[in-house]
A and B are shown apart, each in its own frame.
Chain A
Amino acid sequence: MLPIIFLMLAILGIGGLVAALAGSYSRSKLTAILFSAVALLIASYMVLGALTSPGFLGSTESLPYIGQFGIYLSFTITQFGVVLVLLASIVSFAASVAVSTKFEDNRNLYPLILLFEFSAIGLFVSANLFLFYIFWDVGVVASYFLISAFGKGENKHAANTFLIYSIFASAVLLFGIMLIYFYTPVHSFDIGYIASHSFEIPADIQGMIFTLFFIAFMVKMPIFPFHSWIANAYSEAPTQGSMLISGVLSKFGAYGMLLLFTVFAFSSEFAKYAFVIGAISSFYAAFVVMRQKDLKRIAAYSSMLESGIILVGISSLNVFGIAGALYLMLAHGLVMALMFAVIGGIEISYGSRNITMLKGIVKDSVGSAYSFLVGTFASTGIPLTAGFVADVLIFIGAIKTYGLYGAIPIFSIMLLGFYMYYAVNKSFLSTKESSQSIAKLPRQMAFTYAIAMAAIFIFGIFPYLVTALFGI
């Protein structure tokens, strides 16, 4: 069979180099669009393969890398991986189409987008923890530069906060990975091998490993109390950066959490704590979001809320909860891409993203207003959007495991809904008075909205595309 993952990573790597060496802004952008479109096609082919041919999931590709540690460049396509690869390629494609106002001259954005996509896809398909860590950190560095070099205003501060939190998570993660390596019977980084031998790790080391991993993934998702980097990082990054960081980078943590609870059998005894933490985190985010006036911060905290719900889904440890969590990762990644794109578009059109200043956006830019409405629907779980399927699956799973307590986090989504509809009603749809738009929405932004919205509706109307992978 074709080494499809190596092909995809090679294409993205080459694309990144070409985009870095392309002479001008427009050529660099065109390169990024082309290469991420090819990656999107390959990702769609992967989903098709996973749905139609039975041997496709679990197929492994590997090359020798470091003999002394038995490390291979080995990749495998799992149910989780295939969905998240699709998410990463859709969001990266949308981000390379999008534009942001201030950095028309700066062509280094596009190599970074492709580098980020490279790391994300590599992470979601890596079959050993060593590669997982490498791609994780490359993604962190790419995001750091997206914030640091292209953001505006307080971006240096935001970037440094982001970096410090992220490197803390990486350090903790690395330590956990090393512990696993030296405490498995035959030293190995291979996820499949660890999954079948996790009970042979000594009990005190098991607890240590779980704590380290849990903290690292909490920082990245983010989950209360490790969330304070998100507001600045999401709001000071350029539009494309916010799309990628909230849409894909936060899924690094969520995917890690999925692996932690599905691969390491000993995690199940900690699941109920994870459930409580997830619920607390989502309520915390719901209350914080009500104090926000900046659209990007509203989106940032709503993203934190969804991360809490994802953790609730994972911690229910049954197929509905796990599949729902995965579905919510997909839905939420797409929603965040759409929301941040719309906010970027509004910033171009109105020069502001403060909801107390913005009024009646629907009058001058219909597209932005209704796209934001779709994003709000999807994030509050309205039927026909991807968010609905995800929430249904997660809460079926949670109620199965935790009884009616499992349903409590639903109220945090309701709280979010109250505030979001209030905001939308006030600044987007009211017709009493309207702000004056200062610039027309660029056509690329309309395309970006369309890509994200199409994906949200496709996965809302045909949930079969993902649930079939889990047999539900």
Chain B
Amino acid sequence: MFEILNFAIPILFVGLIASGLATAMHKNKKLSFLSNTIMLLLVLAFGIYYSAFSISFNAVSLYHVYPFSSFLLVLFSLALLIVNAAALHLDEKYAKFGTMLPILSVGILSVGMASSLLTIIVSIELMTVPTILLIAFSGKQFAEPATKLFLMAAISIAVLAFAITLVFPYDSSLSLSQAASGNMGSQYFLVLALVLLVASLGTEAALFPFDLWIPDVYQGSPHSVSPLLAGVNKKVAFVALIEIAFVVFSGQKAEISLVFEVLAILTMFFGNLGAMAQTNVKRMLAYSSISQAGYIMVGLAAFSVFGLEASLFQIFAHSFMIIGAFVLAGFLSMEGLDTINDYSGLYRRSGFLAFSLTVMMLSMAGIPGLIGFVGKFLLFSSAISSGLIALAFIGIINSFLSIYYYGRLIGNVYSSRSHKTMHVPKTVYFPILAAVVIIIVFGVYPAPLMYLAHSAAASLFSVI
């Protein structure tokens, strides 16, 4: 019985790929949406089952289920479910999306369970290539973001591969746990590998100075893909970064902490100052997601179980905030509302959209009672508890700076210009509602999610 359960995830992956391929054949919108949703729901169910009972096992040295990976299974399958549902409206044809999403979700879901460096690089590749195709196939006007994403992804994968080859002489099995146990010392090549690794994954994870492509691609991508890019793909890069930096390079604690601290500070300032100057909402969200990447780095710089817990919590929190926000912005963009000024009087058009946008923006700004506050609170606390008081202070100052652009958007939404009311279709309503519910529920009562994040973080550290 348990033998079968151990292979449930690979079987579901096969199912996902089959669902994607089937979509390419039959092109029935409803059917393919249904099959994708069911597959993801099953993954979610297993993820919840694994994390509820803290199950851990190794299966054929291919993948490793432990609280860390179970947490990510829950997070990514939930996020993909929302993205998938929203795409039904944001992408009218859905056929291409329905084909690509299950395939790339295999890459996304397997990165957390990776037990070797090769699995990580393959999963990232499996995630990136379909995403590029998805953007490129959406029409001629998307050639620019597709090309940009393609170039950045190609270079970052090449650099990542080079970094892994540099590790190879010291760890010929390429296995994460063996790399951790073997004392790799502080060789010159390892430091180079570390730098290349941060550069490569930093590109995908939107860390300054590798993040200049982010605003163009997030803004220019099809509305159905932007939530995926910002809410899921970016987080996958963070997961890979966490696994490699914390497990493989666990000996270089001081160097990693310093590098991450500097990156965190620069990324936060770049994102926040950039967002202040924007008028287009999607572009502003792109910059704000860069700043959020900086916050996540604060927890990683703390380099402790608590810091990792905080980062995982924030990864979870930001995933749903940004997915909700991009779905909302994409829907409004389809209705012809693009800039911050267009949003004025949104409150009169649709109370639901105005309320949801307010919740998401306040949560990103870190207002208590919402999930974003808990995330930031944990992050800055973890920095203080590791003795990085200056980093925590800079983080809090950045959090204060961000209120400028979030507040400006919210202020516009409630200005009293009157408009006709707007019809919100169900396929937009429910994904946004799901995001809002997650933001509020885990904001008001964060204890269960904090527990999961804590056991995930502790289990990653116990691999070392």
Contact = CB atoms under 8 A, between A and B. Distances in A.
Interface in B361-414: 362, 365, 367-369, 373, 377, 380-381, 384-385, 389, 392-393, 396-397, 399-400, 403-404, 407-408, 410-411, 414
Interface stretch (B18-26, B324-332, B444-452): B444-452
A178 B380 contact: yes
A160 B408 CA distance: 7
Interface in B53-70: none
Ranked nearest first, the 4 interchain pairs of A and B with the lowest CB-CB distance are A171-B400, A134-B368, A167-B403, A149-B414
Interface of A: 65-68, 133-134, 137-138, 141, 144-145, 148-149, 156, 159-160, 163-164, 167-168, 170-172, 174-175, 178-179, 181-182
B141 interface: no
Given A68-B451, A160-B407, A175-B392, A138 B368 contact: yes
Given A156-B411, A167-B400, A168-B400, A175 B393 contact: yes
Interface-central residue, A144, A163, A168, A171, by most chain B CB under 10 Å = A171
A134 B392 contact: no
A168 B393 CA distance: 12
Contacts of A144: 407
Contacts of A134: 368-369
B454 interface: yes
A141 B367 CA distance: 8
A164 B403 contact: yes
Given A149-B347, A149-B416, A171-B397, 13 more contacts: A65-B447, A137-B368, A137-B373, A144-B407, A149-B414, A160-B407, A160-B408, A163-B407, A164-B404, A164-B407, A175-B380, A178-B380, A182-B385
Nearest to A173: B396
Contacts of A133: 368
Contacts of B389: 179
Nearest to A167: B403
Nearest to A64: B447
Given A65-B447, A182-B381, A175 B403 contact: no
Nearest to A171: B400
A161 to B, nearest CB: 10
B183 interface: no
B411 A159 contact: yes
A425 to B, nearest CB: 38
B421 interface: no
Contacts of B369: 134, 137-138
Nearest to B415: A156
A181 B378 CA distance: 12
A149 B447 CA distance: 33
A124 to B, nearest CB: 17
A21 to B, nearest CB: 12
A170 B407 CA distance: 15
The main secondary structure of chain B at its interface with chain A is helix
Contacts of B377: 174, 178
Contacts, number: 69
Nearest to A205: B389
Contacts of A170: 400
B411 A181 contact: no
Nearest to B445: A65
A148 B373 CA distance: 22
Contacts of A149: 347, 414, 416
Nearest to A130: B377
16 contacts: A65-B447, A67-B447, A68-B451, A138-B367, A141-B362, A149-B416, A160-B407, A163-B407, A164-B403, A164-B407, A172-B396, A175-B392, A178-B381, A178-B392, A179-B384, A182-B381
A320 B447 CA distance: 43
B392 to A, nearest CB: 7
Contacts of B373: 137
Interface-central residue, B365, B411, B414, B454, by most chain A CB under 10 Å = B411
Contacts of A179: 384, 389
A137 B399 CA distance: 14
B349 to A, nearest CB: 15
Given A178-B381, A182-B385, A137 B367 contact: yes
A140 to B, nearest CB: 8
Nearest to A66: B447
Contacts of A68: 447, 450-451, 454
Contacts of B385: 182
Contacts of B400: 167-168, 170-171
Contacts of A178: 377, 380-381, 384, 392
A66 B454 CA distance: 13
A5 to B, nearest CB: 18
B396 A174 contact: yes
B243 to A, nearest CB: 24
Contact of A182 (B367, B384, B397, B408): B384
B403 A163 contact: yes
Nearest to A169: B400
B411 A148 contact: yes
A28 to B, nearest CB: 14
Contact of A171 (B381, B399, B408): B399
Nearest to A135: B368
B327 to A, nearest CB: 24
A316 to B, nearest CB: 32
A66 B365 CA distance: 22
B224 to A, nearest CB: 32
B404 to A, nearest CB: 7
A107 to B, nearest CB: 12
Nearest to A147: B411
Contacts of B381: 178, 181-182
Nearest to A68: B450
Interface in B445-464: 446-447, 450-451, 454
